[in-house]
Chains A and B, each alone.
Chain A
């Protein structure tokens, strides 16, 4: 299969370009211009990074809640001007979100790309990969992203602004965000990888951040997208997913029930996509990577659409070629120790 026809390869190229731009963007757009771009580019890269061209929407959201709304509420003052910055933040996020929907996660996020690259390295190292997590485990993990959004991005910054909790919790998600460490490391800075001993709160947060980063480094080798599953960005996207122009649609057939290849291909283990009879199957955990469309063997059953324009529609010929390309890429898998013992 020629690589320019392979959606996964196209996506990787886009991800690589996005990674270079988002992590080293100020080299291209200028040191100060980076801040301007940053205000409008809500993906998981951040202002702590020296060369970045973007800025995560979660930073202003936490700061506006923690530094403005919280203190104002605690002083008994409330006005429209207090929530206007929050609405502006969400508004700019929404404009870009309408254009790209959850494809932010699957096509642009630097941390998502990094995890996928580690996954590819894991495949090439022939590490015994866990292609799909247990259904029960997936169900247990799913609420975590809402908890991360609700607690770390909204409640704790607000509580910090109101004075109920310490300053440490003014922007708690940034404090534990693995993308902050990742993008700054790629920009040649070690200054975001630290243990902060200035207070117990900061110390705990920095330990969580570094532990989480180490955990992701290893888990990504054998598991698909470990951090994406708990990312608050995924939850924020899920809230607005119906307004985005990029859609994942399905024309259910009776074969879908027995097949399930789409669910197996899904890096987020969304098993519902193969049983769902809905037309719109953009689930809260979806990152719009398009793998389900690629691995659907039936013509026109699944499609990735931009508004009404089909970008990728499932096709048996493509499926065959894509499967071959996948097998060629994976090579012979090392049998597990149990299989070896049985032999």
Chain B
């Protein structure tokens, strides 16, 4: 089970267009009978109810990241799905690191750190995560990456429970400019067996086309060099003029 943004209804745009306080809908894929909650930056939980696995999150009046959590236990299997969602409102006064580190489920993938202002997960970059079991780092456990663009790969956490995920360059079409490309989704999932009990967790987030497709550092360096030459020319001319006087 994992969280994903709800498909946009025709004519309604993305969650209210430019209104950043507009409600946002998410669906819990394969999440029947799961208990749902929204945890705000102050770690207060609000139970959510889903309609056909779809929940609509309204602004809580509090700024910063909120966690969408789905939990389900059946016999020996304990499942969780987590997603972080930024909401606008009054400053909470709390650091998002508190929410990320808060134990939301027994097995959990914690972003270390999650993207912040002017940052986002980008293709062809590394993203770091901490795998935790009962609040402690879980070493040598497999973490599977699945993207909406069709990539699947597997990684293993290190002795400190950290796992570095290279986000793939798998967008089928890339247009020049940030506005021309829609974000895609990635899901990280992990499993762990503890005696007779099995635990699974997923963390989903969006990732974007890396702007390196239309931004050239080499050209940038060349232009800086041009600027330096121009600066040298100005200095030389100023000096010549002064000497002539």
A114 to chain B, nearest CB (A): 14
Q: Kindly state the separation between the CA atoms of A199 and B215 in the bound complex, as whole angstroms.
A: 11
Decide if B89 is an interface residue (CB 8 Å cutoff). Answer: no
With A194-B217, A196-B215, A198-B177 already in contact, the answer to whether A218 and B228 are too (CB < 8 A) is yes
Chain A residues positioned under 8 Å from B176 (CB to CB)? 197-199
The A192-233 residues at the B interface (CB cut-off 8 A) are 193-199, 202, 206-207, 210-219, 221-223
Decide if A336 is an interface residue (CB 8 Å cutoff). Answer: yes
Chain A residues positioned under 8 Å from B225 (CB to CB)? 214
Q: Kindly state the separation between the CA atoms of A212 and B223 in the bound complex, as whole angstroms.
A: 9
The A13-52 residues at the B interface (CB cut-off 8 A) are 30-36, 38, 47-48, 50
The B146-194 residues at the A interface (CB cut-off 8 A) are 176-180
CB atoms of B216 and A197 under 8 A apart: yes
Which residue in chain B gives the minimum CB-CB distance to A192?
B220
A95 to chain B, nearest CB (A): 16
CB atoms of A338 and B243 under 8 A apart: yes
A128 contact from B214, B226, B232, B239, Cβ within 8 A: B239
Across chains A and B, the number of contacting residue pairs, with CB separation under 8 Å, is 120
B219-243: contact bitstring with A at CB < 8 Å (1 yes, 0 no)? 1110111111111101100110011
Q: Kindly state the separation between the CA atoms of A50 and B117 in the bound complex, as whole angstroms.
A: 10
Chain B residues positioned under 8 Å from A130 (CB to CB)? 235, 238-239, 242
A58 to chain B, nearest CB (A): 14
CB atoms of B227 and A336 under 8 A apart: no
Which residue in chain A gives the minimum CB-CB distance to B113?
A31
A-B contact pairs, 18 of them (CB 8 A): A30-B95, A31-B116, A32-B95, A32-B96, A36-B91, A190-B217, A193-B221, A194-B219, A196-B214, A211-B226, A214-B224, A214-B226, A214-B227, A215-B227, A216-B227, A216-B231, A219-B234, A336-B239
Q: Kindly state the separation between the CA atoms of A337 and B236 in the bound complex, as whole angstroms.
A: 12
How many of chain A's residues touch chain B, expressed as a range?
35 or more
Decide if B97 is an interface residue (CB 8 Å cutoff). Answer: yes
The 3 tightest CB contacts between A and B, nearest first, are: A214-B227, A218-B231, A198-B177
CB atoms of B118 and A48 under 8 A apart: yes
Chain B residues positioned under 8 Å from A343 (CB to CB)? none
Q: Kindly state the separation between the CA atoms of A47 and B118 in the bound complex, as whole angstroms.
A: 6
Q: Kindly state the separation between the CA atoms of A60 and B216 in the bound complex, as whole angstroms.
A: 27
A196 to chain B, nearest CB (A): 5
Q: Kindly state the separation between the CA atoms of A31 and B224 in the bound complex, as whole angstroms.
A: 30
Chain A residues positioned under 8 Å from B229 (CB to CB)? 214
Decide if B12 is an interface residue (CB 8 Å cutoff). Answer: no
Chain B residues positioned under 8 Å from A167 (CB to CB)? 179
Decide if A71 is an interface residue (CB 8 Å cutoff). Answer: yes
A310 to chain B, nearest CB (A): 38
B94 to chain A, nearest CB (A): 9
The B93-126 residues at the A interface (CB cut-off 8 A) are 95-97, 113, 116-119
B215 contact from A36, A50, A195, A211, Cβ within 8 A: A195
Which residue in chain A gives the minimum CB-CB distance to B97?
A32
Decide if A102 is an interface residue (CB 8 Å cutoff). Answer: no
Decide if A191 is an interface residue (CB 8 Å cutoff). Answer: yes
Chain B residues positioned under 8 Å from A34 (CB to CB)? 116
Chain A residues positioned under 8 Å from B227 (CB to CB)? 210-218
Q: Kindly state the separation between the CA atoms of A32 and B64 in the bound complex, as whole angstroms.
A: 10
CB atoms of B96 and A199 under 8 A apart: no
A289-318: contact bitstring with B at CB < 8 Å (1 yes, 0 no)? 000000000000000000000000000000
